[in-house]
Chain A
Amino acid sequence: METKNNWRAWLYLAPMLILMAVFTFYPLFNAFIISFYKDYQPLLNQRAPGMTLDNYSIVVNNYFFKQALKNTFTLAFISVPISIVLSLFIAVALNSIPRLKAFFQTIFFLPYVTNGIAVGMAFAVIFHRNYGLFNQFLSWFGVAPVDWIGSTATWGKQMTALMIFTIWDSLAFKILVFASGLTNIDKQYYDAARIDSASKWTIFKRITVPLLSPLILYISITSMIGALKAYNSIIALFGESLGGRPRDMITIVAFVYQYRADYANIGFYSYAAAGAIILFMITLAFTGLQTIVSRKRVHY
C-alpha cells in the first residue's frame, strides 16, 4: 500500500479527531483540573486562585456520596454476577433446543431495544404497594403486601426492586452475546465429551464455561463498569427524587449530576468533577483487573 499519504490520512481522520478533541479529550483533561479548583463558578468562569484537594475530601466525607458508593457497589456486585449466571444458563438452554431458538432469542432481546425509562415506569407500576402485580404475585405464596419503592420502603426493599429491574434490563445483551459465543465453540468438543460420557452438567462446567471464559470475563468487566454508572434505571423506577424516600437510591453518577445541576452554588461543580474522577478511577481499576486476570487465568 501507499506510504506517502501522511497528510492525506490525517485529513480523513480530521473530522473525528477534531470533534473528539473538543468533546472527549479536552473534557477529560478539564474534569481533572476542575476537580482541583477553589470556589469555582463555572458559568461565570470565576474561581479563587490556586489549586486544592479539598473538593475530594468534601466529596468523600459527604453523606450522600457514601450512600452513593454503598448503593452503586451493592447494585454492581450483586446484579452483575446474577445476570451473568442467569444469562449463561439461558444461552445454554437456547443452544440445546431443537426448535424455536430464533423465536426465544428475539423475545429475550426485546428489553435491549426498548426505552429504559418507559419500561422502568412500567416496573414502578408493577412494584406499587397497593395494586402492583408483584405484591399480587407474592400474595399467592402468602406474603403480605410490601412497599417496594414508595415512601415507606426500606433500603433493602428499594434495592431489591432496583436489582430486579436492572437484571431484567441487562439480560438481553448478555444472552445474545453468550448465545453467539456458544455457537462459535467447535462442536467436536461436545462430541468428544459425549464419547467421554460426560453428563450435561459436567459438559457445562468443564467444557462450556472454560471455553467461554474469555468472553465471560470480558462481559463481566464491561457490565461491572456499566453497573457502576447506573443512573437511568433509578430515574425510571424512582423518578428524579432518586428513591422512595428522596436520595435513598442515589448512585455515584446521580451524585455527580445533582451537584452539576447546582452549578450556581459556589464550588459545587468541582464536587461533581471530583465525584466523576473518583468514578473514573474505579472503572480504571476494574479495567486493570481485567487485563491482569485475562493474562493469568482465562487464556489457554
Chain B
Amino acid sequence: MAEVYVKNELSYKAKKTIFHILVYAFLILITISVLIPFYWMLLTSVKTQVMIEQVPPLLFLKPADWEINNYKLLFEVVQSGPRRGQPLFPFFTYMKNTILVSVITTVGTTITTILAAYAFARLRFKGSNLVFVILIATMMIPGEIFILTNFLTVYRLGWYDVFNQTYWDAVLAMTIPFMTSVFYMFYLRQTFKQIPNELYFAAKVDGTTDFQYLWKIMVPVAMPTIVTIIILNSMGAWNAYIWPNMIATRDEYRLVSNGLRGAFTDSSTGRTDFGQQMASAVLVTVPLLILFFVFRKQIMRGVSRSGIKG
C-alpha cells in the first residue's frame, strides 16, 4: 500500500508542476504577443530608414545605435504641405488641444452625471423609472447615427465654418455634444444608492438642503467612483478620431489621433516614413501609458465593473 501511495504522490506532484509550467508558458506567449506591437513601434522609431528597410528585419538594436533623428525631425518646421509653418508633427499643439478638450468634456460630464445620478438615486418623482429606462436604452444605439445630425447642429450653431472657424468654435464643437454619459450616470447612481439613508436623515436634521447634502456628503463619499469616472472619461479624448476629424477645419485644431495617420506619406512618391510615423506613435502612446500606470487600480476597477454590470 505504501508503495502505491508514493507512486501516486509523485505523479500527482509532477502533473501539477507540468500543468503550472504549461499555464505559465501560455501566459508568457500571450504576454509576448501583447507587447510585440509596442516593442516594434519603439524599435522602428529609433531605426534609420536604411535599418527599417533591411531584410530580414533587425529584431534588436543596442541603445548605443538608437537613432533619435526621427524624433528631432517631428519637431522641425516644414515649409510645404497642409502643415506649412508648423512642425512636421505638431505634437505640442495636438497635446494642448487634446488636454483642453479632455478637461472641458470631463468637467461637463462629471457635473451632469453627478446631478442626474443624484436625482435617480435619491429623489422620487413622477416618471423617474420611465426616463431612466429610456436613458439606459440609448446606450444600445450606435453613436454613428447621432453624428449625421450633430454635424448639422454644430454647423447651424456656427461652430463649423469652413472659412472662418475659430479655435474656440472647434473646441466647443468637440466638447459640448459629449458632456453626458448614460453609462457613468448609471455607474454613479449605483454608488449613490449604497450610501445609507441614515446619512441623509442625519444631514436633514442638521439642517442641510438637498443640494448641500449632495456636494458635502454624497460626492465626498462617492469620490472613488467619481475619480474612476474622471480618469476613464478623460482618456476618451486621446482616442477620439472621427468627430474631431470631421469638424476641425484646420490642422492645428485637431487632436492627437488625427495627426498620426497620413502625415508621413510623401504624396509624390507614396512612400511612408515609418521611422517618423512610429516616433509620433510613441509620443502619443507614452502619455497614456504613464496615466495608466499612475491610476492603474482605478482604471482597471472601473473597466471591470463596466463589464460586470450586465
By the criterion CB–CB under 8 Å, are B138 and A97 in contact?
no
B241 touches A13 (CB 8 A): no
Cβ–Cβ < 8 Å partners of A3 in chain B: 124
| CB interface residues, A 266-289, toward B, < 8 Å | 269, 272-273, 276-277, 279-280, 283-284, 287
Identify B44's interface contact among A5, A114, A125, CB under 8 A.
A125
Residues on B with C-beta less than 8 A from A231 are 242
Residues 6-65 (chain A) with a chain B CB within 8 angstroms: 6, 8-10, 12-17, 19-20, 22-28, 30-31, 34, 42-43
DSSP majority for the B interface? helix
Interface hit among B62-70, B71-79, B144-152, B221-229: B144-152
Q: How many residues of B contact A (CB 8 A)?
A: 97
Judging by beta carbons under 8 Å apart, are B307 and A1 in contact? no
A192 at the interface (CB under 8 A from B): no
A5 near B123: Cβ-Cβ < 8 Å = yes
Which chain A residues (76-118) contact chain B, with CB distance < 8 Å? 89-90, 93-94, 96-98, 104-118
B36 engages A20 (CB within 8 Å): no
Is B289 positioned at the interface, with any CB of A under 8 Å from its CB?
Answer: yes
Query: Considering only CB atoms, which chain B residue lies closest to A86 in the complex?
Result: B30
Interface string of A112-141 (1 = CB under 8 A from B): 111111110111011010111100100100
Chain B residues whose C-beta falls within 8 Å of the C-beta of A189 in the assembled complex: none
In the complex, what residues of A have CB within 8 A of residue B180's CB? 16, 19-20, 23-24
CB of A163 within 8 Å of the partner chain: no
The answer to whether the Cβ of A67 comes within 8 Å of any Cβ in the partner chain is: no
Bound form: Cα–Cα A168–B66 in Å: 28
Selected interface stretch from B3-11, B114-122, B164-172 = B114-122
Docked Cα-Cα span, A77 to B303, in Å, equals: 24
Q: How large is the interface on A (under 10, 10 to 19, 20 to 34, 35 or more residues)?
A: 35 or more
Contact of A121 with B140 at beta-carbon distance under 8 Å, contacts A23-B153, A215-B308 already known: no
A210 contacts partner chain B, Cβ-Cβ < 8 Å: no
B230 at the interface (CB under 8 A from A): no
**Chain B residues whose CB sits within 8 angstroms of the CB of A68 once the complex forms:** none
* Complex Cα spacing A139 to B141, Å: 44
Contact call B36/A30, Cβ cutoff below 8 A:
no
Among A242-295, those with CB < 8 Å from B are 253, 256-257, 260-261, 269, 272-273, 276-277, 279-280, 283-284, 287
From B26, B59, B119, B145, A27 is in contact (CB under 8 Å) with B145
Give the most central of B261, B282, B299, B308: most A CB within 10 Å: B261
Q: Chain A's nearest CB lies how many Å from the CB of B203?
A: 13
A1-B122, A1-B123, A115-B257 given; A122·B115 CB < 8 A: no
Chain B residues near A20 (CB, 8 Å)? Answer: 135, 138, 180, 182
A16 in contact with B185 (CB, 8 Å) = yes
**Could you say which residues of chain A place their CB within 8 Å of the CB of B80?**
none
Q: Does A191 contact B (CB under 8 A)?
A: no
Q: Let me know if B281 and A121 touch, CB within 8 A.
A: yes
Given contacts A113-B299, A139-B56, contact A260 B38 (CB under 8 A): no
CA distance A267 to B238 in the complex (A): 33
**A5–B210 CB distance below 8 A:** yes
- Asked if A9 and B144 sit within 8 Å, CB to CB, the answer is no
**Which of B111, B145, B153, B308 sits near A31, CB closer than 8 Å?**
B145
B285 interface contact, C-beta 8 A: yes
Give which listed residue, B55, B115, B182, contacts A12 with CB less than 8 A: B115
| Residues in A whose Cβ lies below 8 Å from that of B277 | 121, 125
Which residue on B lies nearest to A219, using beta carbons? B307
- The minimal Cβ–Cβ distance linking B290 to chain A, given in whole angstroms, is 10
Assess whether A229 is in contact with B307, with CB atoms less than 8 Å apart. no
Question: In the assembled complex, which residues on chain B have CB atoms less than 8 Å from the CB atom of A277?
Answer: 145
- What residues of A have a CB within 8 angstroms of the CB of B291 in the complex? 113
Q: Tell whether, in the assembled complex, residue B19 and residue A235 are in contact, meaning their CB atoms are under 8 Å apart.
A: no
Please report A residues at the B interface, Cβ cutoff 8 Å: 1-3, 5-6, 8-10, 12-17, 19-20, 22-28, 30-31, 34, 42-43, 89-90, 93-94, 96-98, 104-119, 121-123, 125-126, 128, 130-133, 136, 139, 168, 171-174, 176-177, 179-181, 184, 200, 214-215, 218-219, 222, 225, 228-229, 231-232, 235-236, 239-240, 253, 256-257, 260-261, 269, 272-273, 276-277, 279-280, 283-284, 287
In the assembled complex, 28 residue pairs joining A and B whose CB atoms fall closer than 8 Å, in A order, are: A3-B124, A9-B125, A10-B119, A13-B115, A15-B116, A19-B176, A19-B180, A26-B153, A27-B148, A31-B145, A34-B149, A98-B20, A105-B300, A117-B239, A118-B260, A121-B41, A125-B274, A131-B52, A133-B59, A168-B33, A168-B37, A177-B304, A235-B241, A260-B147, A276-B142, A276-B144, A279-B142, A284-B140
B residues apposed to A, CB below 8 Å: 19-20, 23-24, 26-27, 30-31, 33-38, 40-41, 44, 52-57, 59, 111-113, 115-116, 118-119, 122-126, 128, 131, 135, 138, 140-153, 155, 176-177, 179-180, 182, 185, 197, 200, 210, 235, 238-239, 241-242, 246, 256-257, 260-262, 265, 274, 277-278, 280-282, 284-285, 288-289, 291-292, 296, 299-300, 303-304, 306-308, 310
